[in-house]
Amino acid sequence: MDNPGEITERLVALRDGDKAALNHLVPLVYDRLRALAHARLAGRPPGSSLDTTALVHEAYLKLVDQSRAEYRDRAHFFAVAATAMRQIVVDRARRRGAAKRGGEFRLASISVDAVGAEARAEEILAVHEALGRLASIDERLVKMVELRFFAGLSIEEAGEVLGIDARTVNRDWRMARALLYRELTGGPSSPDGAPA
Amino acid sequence: MSRLPDADRWRTLAPLLREALALEPGDRAGFLDRACASDPRLREDIEALLRADQEAAGLSFLGAPADVPPPEDDNDEARSVLDAPGGSGSPRAGGSAAGRAIGPYRLVREIGRGGMGVVYEAEQQSPRRPVALKVILGGRHVDPVAVRMFQRESESLARLRHPSIAAIYESGATVDGEHFFAMELVQGTTLSQHLEAEGPPRTREALRRRLALFRKIAAAVAYAHQRGVIHRDLKPSNILVLPEKLTSAPHPSGSGPYDEAPDVKVLDFGLARITGEDAEATALTAFGRVQGTLPFMSPEQVRGRRDEIDVRTDVYSLGVLLHRMVSGQPPYDLDGADLPEAARIICEQPPRPLRPAPGARFRFDHDLAVISRKALEKEPVRRYQTVAALDEDLGRYLAGQPIQARPPSTAYQLRLLVRRHTAPFVAAGLVLLLVVAFALFAAFQARRIAAERDRARREAATASQVSLFLQRLFDQSHPNNAMGRDLTARQMLDLGTERIDRELADQPDVQATLMQTMGSSYLGLGLYAQAAPLLERAVALRSRIYGAEARETLAAMNDLAMNLHLQGRAAEAEVMYRRTYEGRRKTDGDDDPDTLIPLEGLAWVYAAQGRVQEQEAALRRILEGRERTLGPEDRGTLMARSELGAVLSNTGRSSDAEPLLRQALDGQKRVMGVDHPNTLGTMLELADLEEHSGRMREAEALFLDMLERMKRVLGPDHPMTLSARNDYATLLDQLHRWPEAQAILEDNLARRRRVLGDDHTDTLSSLDNLANIYSVQHLYARAEPLQKEALERDRRLLGDHHPLTLSLLYNLGCTAALRGDRNTALDWLTQAVDNGWTRGNQMADDEDLTTLRGDPRFRALVERANAAAPAASGGHS
């Protein structure tokens, strides 16, 4: 399961219309991505950033046999990686949450910065949960948030994955963000009657 | 409550929103006029989302990729962000701001800067007046929730008119997303500067003046409270002391002690954390964030309990202020403490006693110390309930009248003492529980001692050994013995376990007793994994010492059985319960309460395994026995009645169940109170019954009431709370409120994984439920991994041919079919049939499998399944 071949195989199969390949791809990418994240964080101080953007790109280069990959494969891979990344980031955030709730009494080692991180972790979890609700309304927006927020892809890259132009990405992204913002903050202010 | 539109609404809304976003902001109104002419609600929705888009952009909401951020200097971040939006160069140079306009205000100069915002002196154009303008910095460190909270309050803020409160004129946001607040420009020195300059009071006169000054501040805060505004961030830098020459207008409270003090202006009502002097002491972020400046923050703020903040939070901050104003010292020594340490001190340590500053020529009366202490109570309910009450008590004190506050009781102080030696926030109960468990144990022993003499001597010796051991354990947690740091309760227990091994090797009876005590303490807290080895060893030790059927052994065995049962290891639990039950029947008789305890455990095991008839028989036996020996109002009798009612209800005999449950609930409310876990359990059963009888409204009302109580009494992670939430989600499912049900189930699954582990039957049922909710919403991509996970576990735990495993294979087939993936669907279904799925007709008729019907492979599979079914072959032609 370590060679880049397996993931590449699945990507090629997916390209050729085998939708089932996707089901095998998700856990595969998740495992490998998590291993990469783990390797990346090993030897760094605790609390270091994952740098999801770099991680996803690095993963593509390492896990996919570039000599066999085609343009669409990159898009497919990023789509899958974004979902996996969301899981990884949410897991990390959950672990922080668990630490904070004192499950293992690790409170004493939390620094000032870590408290900020804790709140960030809660924000991530809140976004994740809100996405669960958003999924029943508009799956594409969920994918968009996975790509932009969880995998840290640029507008252009997200467009590549979804097969839409940058302007549409930008608008969809703003729609998703506005929905989530309102969902998470309970805002914005109730209409004051003044026309915009 | 979700603010997301539902799917239908979104289909209408999305294209219009997309189009509006593409337009210049100025052209949007016209577009919406045309597009939403017939639907004003639609327009409102779109406008709200456009505003959300603007605010989200201004605050860089989701602006950085998700991850838990690295430890970096937040202030630097905030500054670099500040440079962006105004576009007028670096505002750090005070002069550069001059002339720039924000809304209708022209900036004159920068007068202050904090972690989150800049304060300018500015000029309003109309009416023409000088104002203080606070601008919140853009960027991801601005907390949108705080801004929202503030804006919600700004209306009430505008109505605050009090000589000691700096008026707020306006709040708003620029197109760039900069939030600003315009307020009265006040000339004065901050209270911190004032206190610094004057020094602590050293004479009685100075003390009186100081108290008079404090009461002016308190009066302003009390006024705001009456109008529904909480300050949230009272501290000396938020209070200005006016120069004496401005002290002209008579204070509304007339003459009296107020006249002795200069006038004050309290700033920043409701505007927590804009001008903080020490931003680095406070972590600022989105949810559950810490507000206020640490030394003045109440325990509830330190813990991030946003929902607990109310007027009593301000009472606390005023308490800190009072302490500092009269003694020259803050109530806690937080110098050099890092944030968690400071938080711990604020939440756990008693404030230092109120002492006059060095060199003072007076002593504080006891009464003043009591007042200060009461304002600084950790728990809001123990504080002054209003600022007015605090102010009045100070008035009584100054007038030489008896004050209302009472010093805390000994019991309460004792509790605080115990708490101080426990882990922050979490484990306070553990030590108490241990003490309680021990007390019960000792009482239990005492009863035995009266009965049996010989054994008595031995047990008395054991008891005193145990007592001594626990005593030493507590000593260990004393700061002097723990190298300057407190031990957490958990560390204490771990230490205790280690010492049981090391020090008591020659006293196995004492060892066993302690292991059981600690094991059952862990058990009571739901820490089953920690409890298990202790209880196992207690059983083994006692069997060796007293024999396998001795009372002592059976007592430990019952706890062990319960622990196994709660770990989801039903088969092992059954063996242990049965051995305990049979043992006790022999020694104590059939109806003895002690005999019925393991029988009750057996009833639970039967329940877990679906052996309903055995369960019902056991419960009837228990109810009968207890009514005879303990009477109808005994807790155990009530419990048995409740459980029997539950069984009947769950097996569809609602009309028999309902009177039993109602009787049990009434009795439990009377005997144990509404919040008792047993009462809540009965409530849960009754709610389920209402649901199954189709009385959804009644059921939901019961659920909401009960969940609130459970969260409070048992905690959000308690297995029972989680079960109740799961049942509530089922109700929501039936009402087709799927997104709500989904949110609950997702959260529940995460909690159960964490609390119970991945293999627990409850966790597995959470997986199933959540997968079903996803499927019903057509979220197959989400359902599938859960079903696969459940399948993998069921295969491992139950085997390939178990009905649950088969139905999961079948469900996976359905999910794949619904997704339109026929090959995968057939794959799963084939696996189901291969392993023993025989309901071919169901398969043929299942609507979820419609897409497969034309496929010859599917037809062959249906036939193969039917052929394998023993009865179906003849019954279906």
Determine the pLDDT at residue B372: 92
Is residue B632 predicted with pLDDT exceeding 70? yes
| Residue among B679, B773, B775 at smallest CA distance from B726 | B773
Q: How far is B297 from chain A (nearest CA, A)?
A: 16
Better-scored residue on pLDDT, B495 or B608: B608
Residue B732, CA atoms < 13 Å, CB-side half-sphere: 21
Please give the helix or strand (H or E) that residue B543 lies within, else none.
Answer: helix B528-546
Tokens of B9: 């609404």
- Cα separation of B652 and B637, whole Å? 23
- Cα separation of A132 and B877, whole Å? 46
Contacts of B139 in chain A (CB under 8 A): none
> What ipTM is given for this predicted complex?
0.83
- Cα separation of B745 and B769, whole Å? 7
Contacts of A150 in chain B (CB under 8 A): 65-66
- Cα separation of B583 and B591, whole Å? 13
Better-scored residue on pLDDT, B877 or B783: B783
Is residue B245 predicted with pLDDT exceeding 70? no
Q: Do A20 and B283 touch (CB under 8 A)?
A: no
Is residue B33 predicted with pLDDT exceeding 50? yes
Determine the pLDDT at residue A47: 54
3-state secondary structure of B839: coil
3-state secondary structure of A14: helix
- Cα separation of B461 and B835, whole Å? 61
Q: Do B283 and A116 touch (CB under 8 A)?
A: yes
Of A119, A171, A184, the CB nearest to B22: A171
Interface test with B, best of A189, A190, A192 (most B CBs within 10 A): A189
Is residue B577 predicted with pLDDT exceeding 90? yes
Point out the least confidently predicted range of A54-68, B150-164, B458-472, B712-726.
B458-472
Determine the pLDDT at residue B426: 30
φ and ψ of B172, to 5 deg? -175, -175
Please report the residues numbered 1 through 60 in chain A whose beta carbons come closer than 8 angstroms to any beta carbon of chain B. Answer: 19-20, 23, 26-27, 45, 47-53
Order of strands, edge to edge, in the sheet holding B105-113? B101-102, B105-113, B117-124, B129-136, B179-184, B168-173
Q: Is B45 in contact with A87 (CB distance < 8 Å)?
A: no
Residue B578, CA atoms < 13 Å, CB-side half-sphere: 8
Determine the pLDDT at residue B534: 87
Q: Do A119 and B152 touch (CB under 8 A)?
A: no
- Cα separation of B766 and B744, whole Å? 10
Please report the residues numbered 123 through 142 in chain A whose beta carbons come closer than 8 angstroms to any beta carbon of chain B. Answer: 123-124, 126-127, 129-130, 132-139
Is residue B477 predicted with pLDDT exceeding 50? no
Vertex B284: Cα angle to B279 and B290 (nearest 5) = 100
Q: Long-range contacts of range B456-459, CB-CB < 8 Å, 24 or more positions apart?
A: B458/B509
Compute the Cα dihedral for B472, B447, B516, B507 and give only its sign: positive
| DSSP-assigned states of every residue in B440-509 | HHHHHHHHHHHH-HHHHHHHHHHHHHHHHHHHHHHHHTSGGGTTTSPPPHHHHHHHHHHHHHHH-TT-HH
Of A49, A175, A185, the CB nearest to B14: A175
Q: How far is B29 from chain A (nearest CA, A)?
A: 6
Q: Do A117 and B57 touch (CB under 8 A)?
A: no
Q: Do A145 and B290 touch (CB under 8 A)?
A: no
At residue A70 the predicted structure's pLDDT band, cuts being 50, 70 and 90, is confident
Minimum Cα–Cα distance from B13: chain A residue: A175
Determine the pLDDT at residue A97: 54
| Partners of residue B130 on adjacent β-strands | B123
Counts for chain A of helices (H) and strands (E), in that order: 8, 0
Please give the helix or strand (H or E) that residue B172 lies within, else none.
Answer: strand B168-173
Mean pLDDT calculated for residue range B282-304: 55
- Cα separation of B132 and B123, whole Å? 8
Please give the helix or strand (H or E) that residue B180 lies within, else none.
Answer: strand B179-184
Is residue B620 predicted with pLDDT exceeding 80? yes
φ and ψ of A42, to 5 deg? -60, 140
One-letter-per-residue 3-state SS of B79-107: HHHHHHHHCCCCCCCHHHHCCCEECCEEE
- pLDDT tens for residues B751-761? 888 877 787 77
Q: Is B604 in contact with B622 (CB distance < 8 Å)?
A: no
Highest mean predicted confidence (pLDDT) among A88-92, B180-184, B829-833: B829-833
> Count of CB contacts below 8 A, A vs B?
237
The number of residues in chain B equals 877
Q: Do B68 and A124 touch (CB under 8 A)?
A: yes
Determine the pLDDT at residue B163: 86
Q: In this prediction, what percent of chain B has a pLDDT beyond 70?
A: 72
Tokens of A79: 């789509």
Interface test with A, best of B10, B45, B62 (most A CBs within 10 A): B62
Determine the pLDDT at residue B449: 39
Determine the pLDDT at residue B249: 47
> What is the β-pairing status of strands B105-113 and B101-102?
antiparallel
Order of strands, edge to edge, in the sheet holding B264-266? B189-190, B239-241, B264-266
At residue B211 the predicted structure's pLDDT band, cuts being 50, 70 and 90, is very high
Is residue B733 predicted with pLDDT exceeding 80? yes
Determine the pLDDT at residue B599: 93
- pLDDT tens for residues A14-60? 888 777 777 778 788 888 888 888 777 765 655 556 777 778 888 88
- Cα separation of B212 and B539, whole Å? 67
Of A89, A129, A181, the CB nearest to B61: A181
Q: Do A53 and B65 touch (CB under 8 A)?
A: yes
Q: How far is B169 from chain A (nearest CA, A)?
A: 17
Q: Whole-number mean pLDDT of chain B?
A: 75
Q: Do A150 and B340 touch (CB under 8 A)?
A: no
Determine the pLDDT at residue A163: 86
B632 prior amide bond cis, ω within 30: no
B384, amino acid identity: Y
The Cα-based distances of B270 to B58, B153, B166, B291, B607 in angstroms read 21, 7, 12, 11, 53
Q: Is B307 a catalytic residue?
A: no
Determine the pLDDT at residue B431: 39
Please report the residues numbered 60 through 79 in chain A whose beta carbons come closer than 8 angstroms to any beta carbon of chain B. Answer: none
Q: Is B92 in contact with B249 (CB distance < 8 Å)?
A: no
Of B7, B70, B286, the CB nearest to A49: B70
Q: Is B797 in contact with B757 (CB distance < 8 Å)?
A: no
Q: Of residues B45, B143, B233, B391, which has the active-site annotation? A: B233
Per the listing, tokens 């460190």 go with B141
The Cα-based distances of B50 to A77, B1, B145, B149, B513 in angstroms read 33, 21, 18, 19, 67
% helix, strand, coil for chain B, step of 5: 65, 5, 30
- Cα separation of B378 and B383, whole Å? 8
| Partners of residue B135 on adjacent β-strands | B118, B180
Point out the least confidently predicted range of B88-102, B578-592, B705-719.
B88-102
Of B50, B65, B69, the CB nearest to A117: B69
Of A149, A152, A186, the CB nearest to B148: A186
Point out the least confidently predicted range of B255-259, B376-380, B567-571.
B255-259
| Residue among B316, A106, A93 at smallest CA distance from B308 | B316
Point out the least confidently predicted range of B49-58, B145-154, B350-359, B537-546.
B145-154
Q: Do B338 and A174 touch (CB under 8 A)?
A: no
Mean pLDDT calculated for residue range B87-99: 40
Q: Do B144 and A185 touch (CB under 8 A)?
A: yes
Please report the residues numbered 97 through 116 in chain A whose beta carbons come closer than 8 angstroms to any beta carbon of chain B. Answer: 98, 101-103, 105, 107-116
Q: Do A137 and B747 touch (CB under 8 A)?
A: no
Question: pTM of the predicted model, to two decimals?
Answer: 0.36
